Each structure stands twice: as C-alpha cells, then as structure tokens.
Structure 1
Amino acid sequence: MTTTEESSAARWRGVELGTRTVCYDESDAILYALAVGAPATDLDLVFEERLRVLPTFALTLAQWAPDELGARGGFDTRTAVHGSQSLEVLAPLPRAGELTLSAKVGEVWDKGRAAVFEVLVESEFFVATWSLFAPGAGGFGGERGPSAAAAPEGEPDRTTTLSTREDQAALYRLTGDRHHIHIDPEAAAHIGQPRPIMHGLCTLAAATIPLARVVGAHPADLTSLSGRFAAPAFPGDDHELRIWGEGTDLQFDVRTGDNAVVSGARATFA
C-alpha cells in the first residue's frame, strides 16, 4: 500500500466492524413483509401461524454495519449513497429468534472522484454486501474495481408491474432506516428531489414478490439477489419490471418510463 493509500479511504480495507446479536419476532417479520408490498392475502408472509420470513428481511437486521462504517468516519454520511446490494441466502430465516452477525469492510475501490466501500455482513443464514459510493474519497491510486453489470441483450422475455403505495416509504422506515429523505419533503428537497423517495432496499426487495409470482416460485424461496440503485423511486408509483431468462435464475430491472431505478439486477429462487 502506498503512502497516499495509507492516509485515504483505502486504509479501511479489511477493517472489522464488530459482531452483534440481533433479535426479532414474528411481528417484525410481518411488518417487513407488509412494508415491501406483500398483500394481506398472502397469509404465509403476514400470518404468524403460517409465516415464512422473506430472505430480504436479513438486510434490515444487518443495516447497522454500513451505519457503523459511516459513524467511524469511513465516508461522509451527508453525501455517500447506496450504490448496489447483494444477498446470498445460506438457510431460511427462522420466524423469530437471535442472529449473530459479523461485519467488516471488504474492498475499497478507487473510482477517481469517488471511492466505493464494500461492507460485508455474515451469519449462518446469509451473506450480504453493501456497496457505498462516497464522492470525494477517491483518487488514492487504488484499483477501480469491477464495472457495473451489463444490461441483458434484446427485449425482455417477460414484463410485469411493480406497484408501490403512497405510504410505503413511511412504513418501511419502521423496519430501521429512518433517514429523513424518505419522509420529510424538506430533506428530500435538500438532495434535489421533489418529494420523499423510496428506500432502494425497499424497491429491490419489493421486486422479488411479483418476480417470484411470474416464474411460479415463492418469494421466501429466494436464494440470491443483487442489483444497482440507478435512480430514485417514489412511493405510489407503478414501475415496469422487465425479466430476462427462463426457470428460476433471472436477470431483471425496474423502470419508470424510460428510466431505470434498479438496473443490472439478478435473482435466483430455489
């Protein structure tokens, strides 16, 4: 590592962020399912006696890890944005209980004017990776890292609609991410948005529910998920979910008009 790297964002590469035990019960898992758009008629997602926990619920349990890096000064929390997310499911989440999660910084990529921090969270049930885009933190002479996933070629094999509710961001905040831009019009205006925006993780997770239906899978049978957050989405909007691939290994994106809000996405179901 060069002297420049030692005094820069690169010094966070490999840093341990700690281990935490997180607790939840059936009500937490049901609230999450409702917040990402599960209808009340899907009893195995919203009724404790039949409950199957959505795998993406794990991402709310692990949100403390990227927050911890920001709190330690790894990046400027006022300007950094969540660039992309991945989730590998190792085992189904129990209906309720305690999970021990360990977190660390993975790679730190140099994008020139920005750095990208990877935060990895591991448990016996999942491995999740946050990619955080930090403007002003690049230029330390490190590797640029992988490029964004290429868009699938040709027209999608299938399309469906991802509908969101006007209260969806307000409800999703109750699962843990209470950033003001998702509820306060003044905070949204401060980042140049006309109204509060959806959480990227809410949009990505919400897409897995209609995606599973289209391919004849169950949303709780998700085994892996990834996607890049390309643009803000707004509560109450309907989006086009475009799907490439056959079977249960799929590429997809989420679009509003001609603009992608989630791009380069992939999901697999058991």
Structure 2
Amino acid sequence: MTAPPAVSPWRGHDLGTRTVAYTERDAILYALAVGARADDLDLVFEKRLRVLPAFALTLAQWAPDALGALGAFDTTTAVHGSQRLTVRRPLPRSGEVSMSARVAEVWDKGGAAVFDVEVESHHFLATWSLFAPGSGGFGGERGPSGPKRPGQPADRRLSVATHPEQAAHYRLLGDRHPMHIDPEAARTAGMPRPFLHGLCTLAAVTLPAAGALGAHPAGLTELEARFSAPVYPGDRLAVDAWDDGPGGLRLEASAYGRPVLTGVRIRFADMPEHPFDAPLQQKETLDA
C-alpha cells in the first residue's frame, strides 16, 4: 500500500490577525509607484480619490513577512512565485483594515517548497505563493502546475514602461526586502542587480489593461499571476492579451523576449456606487 503524501508542519499554521491603518497619502503614493500619472486625478488627487484594489496587497504584506520571520524558509533566497487577489468590496480612501492570515498549503517541489500564505479581510482575499529553495523534500504533494499560454494569437498587444526609480519608490509601501535596493543583497539572491517587486510589475500592467477594456483600474475584482522572471527598473514590457469574457483578460508579459509574468488573469467590474466611474485614459498601448 502506498503511503499518503506527507504534510508540512507549517500547513495550517495561524499567522494571527492584524489591523493596518493607512491614509489618502499612502493610497496616492501607491498609485504613483505603480505607474499612475499626474493627470489621473481620481488616482492621485485626494478630492477625487479612488483606491486601487491591489493597494490591499501592501497592507497585507506583514503576513508573508511574518512567516519568514518564524524561520519557515531562508528569507535571503525565497522569492515571490505567484499572487492571487479577489476583491470583495472597495477600499475606503483612508482608514483601517483588519486581516487574518494562515499558511493555507505547503507544496513539495523536491529541492524547494511553495508556501501559500492566505490573508483574508472584509475587503479582499489574497494568497501569496512563496518559492523557497531548500525547504522541499518532505514527501508532500507537488501541487498544481503552471497555466499554459493560450494557443491562439493575442487579441491585443500593450506596452508598459517601468522607470529606473520604481523599485525604490515601491519599497516604501511595505516590502523592504534589500534585494530590491541593495546590489549585494540582489547578488546573494542570484540576481545581477536589484530588481522590481513582482507586485509592482503586476500592478503596473493592470493600468493599461483597464484602459484596453474601457474599464477603470479601481474596478478590479480579480487578479492572478505567476512571476516567471525578474523585471529590472527601466525595462519595457511587451504584453500579449487575450479577451476572457466580459471585463476580463488573460495576459503574458515579456521583457527582452523573456516571459516575466505568465498565467495572468484579470477582471474588472463597474462599481456604480462610486461617483467617479469614468475610465482611465489608456496609455502606452500598441494595438496589434
């Protein structure tokens, strides 16, 4: 009889609860850090402010950080493998968000493990998948494989520019891992130089994606992606997009011909209860 797969002792570990406060200034800084411009007034001007839903991921960053601090994996080599976000209700312009977090699953990849850290609040449900070299080999299940690129040609093509200071700006929002700012720390992690946070890259892509659909980026309801390769500040991303039903797109982003975001699924919906529903002007867009 075959023995059942082993289970990591970290599976189901309760990471506790936390209430995080933020101001309009924090929400505006986030929008600017992920690519909003000065004329996107309802993202950067407090009198018309709509909070980008992915800003919630900066409020919940404490949870994966807490797991690393407990010694579940080597924080100098672990990387953010993928991210999921389901939006339940819009974030207010300022206030507090109470969250609870746990290790939902630990997958055994042999030489590495993937820790799924789930954070839940009234406003969102978010899951970090953290790829941790050296933490596998405990005999557990390997977990799901990555999504495949659609076989048909892309319906749209977008171009997204990053800027050289973007990682330095984004790290002020909570993820201050030194690999994003310190060249020595980046080399320790196997990178030639500091690289952009995966969540910053992903959020930067949501802005032109919303524009391509005639949606407002604050209308984001679902987001999912795998981080396939690093993006360095200043890189320009080529984004292939496939229509995925009303308000939805599947995306793959590349830099210098190498995929950096794969398996991206994104969906937007109208929020008629909010007074500012005009779609953000699409920028950096190249139609196929």
Residue of structure 2 aligned with 1:150, choices 119, 127, 148: 148
Cα distance in 1 between the residues matched to 2:192 and 2:70: 31
> Given the alignment of the two structures, is residue 256 of structure 1 paired with residue 243 of structure 2, yes or no?
no
1:251·1:267 contact (CA, 8 Å) conserved in 2?
yes
Q: Which residue of 2 aligns with 1:172?
A: 170
* Alignment-derived partner of residue 193 in structure 1: 191
Question: For residue 26 of structure 1, what is the aligned residue in structure 2?
Answer: 24
Inter-partner Cα distance in structure 1 for 2:144 and 2:187: 32
Q: Does 1:67 align with 2:65?
A: yes
2:222 corresponds to:
224
Hey, what does 1:49 align to over in structure 2? 47
Tell which deviates more after alignment, 112-121 or 192-201: 192-201
Residues 1:215 and 2:213 aligned together: yes
Q: Tell me the distance in 2 between the aligned counterparts of 1:151 and 1:4.
A: 30
- For 2:27 and 2:173, locate their aligned partners in 1 and report how far apart those are by CA, in whole Å: 9
TM-score, structure 2 as length reference: 0.89
Assess if the C-alpha contact under 8 Å between 1:5 and 1:11 holds in 2. no
Cα distance in 1 between the residues matched to 2:215 and 2:258:
27
In the alignment, what sits opposite 1:268?
267
Q: Distance in 2 between matches of 1:51 and 1:191?
A: 37
CA distance in 2, matches of 1:207, 1:22: 26
Answer yes or no: is the 8 Å Cα contact 1:99–1:123 preserved in 2.
yes
- Which residue identity is paired with 1:153? G
State the 1:112 CA deviation. 1.3
Aligned length: 266
| Alpha-carbon separation, structure 2, partners of 1:208 and 1:58 | 14
Q: Which amino acid aligns with 1:225?
A: L
Deviation at 1:190, TM superposition (A): 3.0
Q: How does 1:69-148 map to 2 (within 5 A)?
A: 69-148=67-146
SS in structure 2 opposite 1:201?
helix
Three-state SS of the structure 2 residue aligned to 1:45 is helix
Shift of 1:24: 0.3
In the TM superposition, residue 149 of structure 1 has moved relative to its aligned partner by 1.1
Q: AA paired with 1:264?
A: G
Q: Does 1:39 align with 2:37?
A: yes
Which sits farther off after the overlay, 253-262 or 58-67? 253-262
What is the TM-score normalised by the length of structure 1?
A: 0.95
Kept in 2: contact 1:217–1:248 (CA 8 A): yes
Q: Check conservation: 2:77, 2:188, Cα contact below 8 A.
A: no
Q: Determine helix, strand or coil for the equivalent of 1:49.
A: helix
- 1:3 Cα offset (Å): 11
Shift of 1:5: 4.3
Structure 2 Cα separation of the partners of residues 3 and 261 of structure 1: 35
Q: Provide the secondary structure at the position in 1 that maps to 2:206.
A: helix
Deviates more, 1:133-142 or 1:230-239: 133-142
Q: Structure 1: where are the runs of 5+ without partners?
A: none
Deviation for aligned residue 1:4: 9.6
The Cα of 1:251 is off from its aligned counterpart by 0.4
Deviation at 1:174, TM superposition (A): 0.8
> What SS is found at the alignment partner of 2:195?
coil
Tell me: CA distance 1:44–1:100, structure 2 relative to 1, closer, same or farther (3 Å): same
Q: Structure 2: how far apart are the matches of 1:188 and 1:102? A: 31
C-alpha distance in structure 2 between counterparts of 1:131 and 1:237, whole Å: 24
Q: In structure 2, what is the Cα distance between the partners aligned to 1:186 and 1:76?
A: 17
**Secondary structure of residue in 2 paired with 1:84:** strand
Question: SS of the counterpart of 1:241?
Answer: strand
Q: Which moved more, 1:177-186 or 1:18-27?
A: 177-186
